């Protein structure tokens, strides 16, 4: 489940003047990329509760050539969270549970975390639960999301102190509905939400293949054609809400008119407050964003080939729903373009403050500030990168340069550091202090370069086990690093490189080895952006038959960082959809990517075949997949926790 797409407020509010005229032709143009031979999208618009648009473009199923229609249903991904939250709030109103309940009241099998995690912490993503989307890839094959969640013995943070999007919390919430109501979540949603509101096309199902004859299947571009791309079975995290854009508009109208009652409606829209007093944009299953152009209430969703956005602008009584069934596409961006047709221009506002001295800032070499740092108290990593001449925290937005040693986050990002508008100060080149908007200072130190010897790596070799993941891993020395293998699935392997003594990294995954008083390695802590410090215990030596990492058969997939190929080997056209994509070119010894109809951007080598895209609003990388001849066959684009694949077609 992919984590929420960023809200495109500018696209929603900086709009063309509204008009009563028919917008059908303009909407047709927005969705003209979808043809009778490709997957596509459905779009719905309502004004003052009256549906003015309900149209569909493209195919529901490529194999049968069945077209999308106004009644097609989609896996709406995380857009379902508002329905889950409403179900919980109905049970609170019924007196079956309380927002203040410790979740151990409903899950006695959970451990004592040392801090109470409440039902409301789950609703607001402030409970600190490790996200199952980061747990399941490290668990044994076939593991179920709920089972893995209930096996966890630790939290990412003290409940209420931070905000971190947690799909795990909403898996537990659905189970709480079942345990508190005495009926399945599917039955509760049908009888208490969908049927009373007249949402006849909506249901909670195990996955999209159980959604009936009107279901749209999900796809991903595959060369000149399409291949199925859906979250099914265990990978769906317990189930999905499927719905049509018409039903989603009905839901939005129900929220606008308080058809669920004042208590449920009010709590759904009540914004989250952290224990330090900071108020966030996230409410309960909804983002409530107060912008210069007005209030926008929305949530997006993504599930493999499905992308959905549902939102409304109350001041203009406008609701928009977009659902698509192919990857890559952004329903959020498309919804913004649709809303542009109906909203008046946003009011003129003062420009965001520029750097304190733009000329001086241009002379500052921020490259000397970049690098990997560790929290001096917790060991949590923080990586600084340079993007288009601006310093940036990986995963966040570019920072404002205040001075050569001082930088500031101009505005908070909900999905990065709990929407903190922090400042960075470098008391020395290898130390930095991060001061939160509330004045709390956290100190970081720069990672110390480390080149392990063969003996150093051999000391890490062994078998390691995690009760929380239900997995046994083999750590095998490799050239300059280590390989982590799954003992029962040795073809699953990840190559880690050293970033300092006893600390190894692959992309944003981190392994930190632990030693006893005698210096013997006794285990390691595993972390990634949605999981902090799962303890994995060393249980023995490698089996004698265990193949060294240097002898892996050529057919085994490897995630080792490859050497950088020639730039010419990467050039070509990488297709996103028919006739549209990204052209990679080399000019004056530099690599550039040029999306169809948009300006080109420089690609700067990060490592191996991975390049940073210069000038994006949030960090973006592209990784080229090489064929046997050393030339690229595919490009993988990553931004935040999202990933899109573009096959090279020429």
Dump pLDDT digits (tens) for 285-311: 999 998 776 899 999 999 999 999 999
Contact assessment for residue 78 and residue 4, using Cβ atoms and an 8 Å cutoff: yes
Q: Give the model's confidence band at 597: pLDDT under 50 very low, under 70 low, under 90 confident, else very high.
A: low
Q: Is the dihedral of CA 448, 454, 459, 460 positive or negative?
A: positive
The rounded distance, in Å, linking the Cα atoms of 295 and 298 is 10
- Tens digit of pLDDT for each residue in 423-472? 999 999 999 999 999 999 999 999 999 999 999 999 999 999 999 999 99
pLDDT recorded at residue 165: 96
- Tens digit of pLDDT for each residue in 373-418? 999 999 999 999 998 889 999 888 899 999 999 999 988 899 889 9
Mean pLDDT rounded to a whole number for the chain? 88
Q: What pairs with residue 297 in β-bridges?
A: 288, 312
Closest by CA position to 7, among listed 332, 413, 342: 332
Does residue 252 surpass a pLDDT of 80?
yes
Phi and psi torsions of 528, nearest 5°? -150, 180
The rounded distance, in Å, linking the Cα atoms of 208 and 106 is 29
Q: What is the DSSP letter of 448?
A: P
The rounded distance, in Å, linking the Cα atoms of 329 and 587 is 29
pLDDT recorded at residue 589: 78
The rounded distance, in Å, linking the Cα atoms of 424 and 371 is 14
The rounded distance, in Å, linking the Cα atoms of 283 and 170 is 14
Q: Give the model's confidence band at 266: pLDDT under 50 very low, under 70 low, under 90 confident, else very high.
A: very high
Q: Give the model's confidence band at 362: pLDDT under 50 very low, under 70 low, under 90 confident, else very high.
A: low
Q: How does DSSP assign 237-288, residue by residue?
A: TT-EEEE-HHHHHHHHHHHHTTTT-HHHHHHHHPPPB-TTS-B-SB-SSSEE
Predicted TM-score (pTM) of this structure? 0.81
Contact assessment for residue 254 and residue 83, using Cβ atoms and an 8 Å cutoff: no
Structure-token match 């959020």, residue found: 332
Return the C-alpha torsion angle 8, 11, 12, 15, nearest 10: 170
Of the two residues 579 and 549, the one the predictor is more confident about is 579
- Residues 113-118 have a mean pLDDT of 96
Does residue 50 surpass a pLDDT of 50?
yes
- Tens digit of pLDDT for each residue in 129-172? 999 999 999 998 888 999 999 999 999 999 999 999 999 999 99
Closest by CA position to 31, among listed 301, 302, 242, 335: 335
Q: Give the model's confidence band at 248: pLDDT under 50 very low, under 70 low, under 90 confident, else very high.
A: very high
Residue 632, number of CB atoms within 10 A of its CB? 19
């Amino acid at each position: 489940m992919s984590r929420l797409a960023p809200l495109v407020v500018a696209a929603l509010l900086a709009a063309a003047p509204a008009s009563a005229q028919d917008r059908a032709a303009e909407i047709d143009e927005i969705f003209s990329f979808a043809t009778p031979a490709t997957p596509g999208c459905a779009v719905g618009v309502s004004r003052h509760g009256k549906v003015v648009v309900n149209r569909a473009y493209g195919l529901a199923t490529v194999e049968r050539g069945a077209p999308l229609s106004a009644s097609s249903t989609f896996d709406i991904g995380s857009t379902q969270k508002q329905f889950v939250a409403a179900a919980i709030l109905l049970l609170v109103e019924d007196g079956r549970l309380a927002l203040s309940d410790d979740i151990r009241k409903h899950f006695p099998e959970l451990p004592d975390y040392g801090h109470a995690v409440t039902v409301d912490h789950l609703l607001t993503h402030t409970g600190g639960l490790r996200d199952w989307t980061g747990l399941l890839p490290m668990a044994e094959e076939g593991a179920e999301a709920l089972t893995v969640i209930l096996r966890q013995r630790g939290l990412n943070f003290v409940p209420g102190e931070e905000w971190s999007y947690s799909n795990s919390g909403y898996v537990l919430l659905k189970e709480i509905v079942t345990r508190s109501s005495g009926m399945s979540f599917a039955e509760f949603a049908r009888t208490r939400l969908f049927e009373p509101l007249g949402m006849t096309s909506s249901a909670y199902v195990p996955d999209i293949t159980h959604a009936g004859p009107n279901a749209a299947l999900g796809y991903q571009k595959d060369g000149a054609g399409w291949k199925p791309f859906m979250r099914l079975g265990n990978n769906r995290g317990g189930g999905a809400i499927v719905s049509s854009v018409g039903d989603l508009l009905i839901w939005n109208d129900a929220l606008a008119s308080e058809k669920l009652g004042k208590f449920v409606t009010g709590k759904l829209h009540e914004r989250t407050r952290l224990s330090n007093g900071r108020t966030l944009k996230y409410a309960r299953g909804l983002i409530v964003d107060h912008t210069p152009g007005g209030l926008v209430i929305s949530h997006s969703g993504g599930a493999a080939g499905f992308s959905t956005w549902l939102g409304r602008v109350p001041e203009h009584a406008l609701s928009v729903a977009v659902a698509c069934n192919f990857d890559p596409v952004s329903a959020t961006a498309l919804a913004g373009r649709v809303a542009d047709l109906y909203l008046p221009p946003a009011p003129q506002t003062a420009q965001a403050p520029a750097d304190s001295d733009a000329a001086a800032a241009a002379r500052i070499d921020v490259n000397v500030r970049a690098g990997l740092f560790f929290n001096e108290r917790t060991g949590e990593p923080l990586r600084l990168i340079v993007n288009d001449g601006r310093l940036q925290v990986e995963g966040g937005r570019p920072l404002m340069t205040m001075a050569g040693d001082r930088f500031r986050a101009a505005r908070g990002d909900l999905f990065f550091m709990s929407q903190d508008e922090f400042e960075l100060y470098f008391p020395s080149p290898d130390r930095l202090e991060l001061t939160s908007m509330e004045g709390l200072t956290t100190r970081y130190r720069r990672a110390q370069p480390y080149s392990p010897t063969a003996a150093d790596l051999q000391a890490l070799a062994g078998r390691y086990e995690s009760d929380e993941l239900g997995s046994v891993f083999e750590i095998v020395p490799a050239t300059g690093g280590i390989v982590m293998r799954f003992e029962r699935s040795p073809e699953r392997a990840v190559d880690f490189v050293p970033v300092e003594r006893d600390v190894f990294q692959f992309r944003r995954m981190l392994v930190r080895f632990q030693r006893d008083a005698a210096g013997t390695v006794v285990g390691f802590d595993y972390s990634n952006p949605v999981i902090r410090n799962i303890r994995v215990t060393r249980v023995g030596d490698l089996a004698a038959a265990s193949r060294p990492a240097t002898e892996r058969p050529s057919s085994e997939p490897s995630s080792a960082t490859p050497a950088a190929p020639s730039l010419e080997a990467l050039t070509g056209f990488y297709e996103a959809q028919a006739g549209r994509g990204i052209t990679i070119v080399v000019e004056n010894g530099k690599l550039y990517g040029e999306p169809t109809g948009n300006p080109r951007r420089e690609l700067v080598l990060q490592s191996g075949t991975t390049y940073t895209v210069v000038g994006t609003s949030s960090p973006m990388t592209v990784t080229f997949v090489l064929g046997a001849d050393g030339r690229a066959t595919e490009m993988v684009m990553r931004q935040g926790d999202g990933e899109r694949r573009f096959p090279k077609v020429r």
